[in-house]
Amino acid sequence: MATNVEIKAYVRDPERLRRLAEGVSDTPAEVIHQRDVFLNTERGRLKLRTTSSDQGYLVYYERANVSGPRPSEYYLSETQDPASLERLLTRAFGVRGTVVKVRTLYMAGNTRIHLDQVEGLGHFCELEVMLTEGQSAAEGQAIAEDLMRQLDIQEKDLVNVAYMDLLEQRAQESSSGEKGDRSE
């Protein structure tokens, strides 16, 4: 099991955030196309992330649905045959839904800065402070809060659920004729 501290936030001005992320990043941007198939589970979240026809990751994670920096415990297993694994997992668990996104990745120290464009949802930023051995969640939270300030991420824009949850909420609002309170 690994632990990170993370936040997710709506992004109102993707170009401005990109410039800010480039300013704090230790690395050039890496653009990654991701397709996450969320599977039905009794607890936590289980997803198969496919990044190419021969590269995928099975990820199980547990994280509280609270705003602001929060710990996330996760397990990760790599596969070179994501299509076959998807067929097996779909048969065993059933599919909850799929999230498709283009992710631009920056690194700032031990923090992954994700600028995500999510199909059906819009633009978001995720910060994942990857805790090193002996590093506490409180230290990770302080790092995340500092980066939030540097990237001008406002508390009002924080999101406390996964993209899959947001897509389900949006589908439910659409089917009931409701309008959400956020515009991307």
Place of tokens 């051995």: 133
pTM for the structure as a whole = 0.88
Distance of CA 100 to the CA centre of its chain: 11
Task: Give the Cα separation of 69 and 150 in Å (integer).
Answer: 15
**Under 8 Å between Cβ of 88 and 22:** no
- Rounded to 10 degrees, the C-alpha dihedral 108/58/97/9 comes to -10
DSSP at 42: S
List, for residues 103-124, the tens digit of each pLDDT value. Answer: 999 999 999 999 999 999 999 9
**Under 8 Å between Cβ of 20 and 152:** yes
Domains of the chain: 2-176 (2.40.320.10)
pLDDT, position 5: 93
Task: Give the Cα separation of 27 and 25 in Å (integer).
Answer: 5
Closest CA to 125 of 98, 154, 99, 96: 154
pLDDT of 68 strictly over 90: no
Residue 116: phi and psi, rounded to 5, are -110, 135
List, for residues 130-149, the tens digit of each pLDDT value. Answer: 999 889 999 999 999 999 99
Bridge partners of 77?
58
Task: Give the Cα separation of 146 and 184 in Å (integer).
Answer: 24
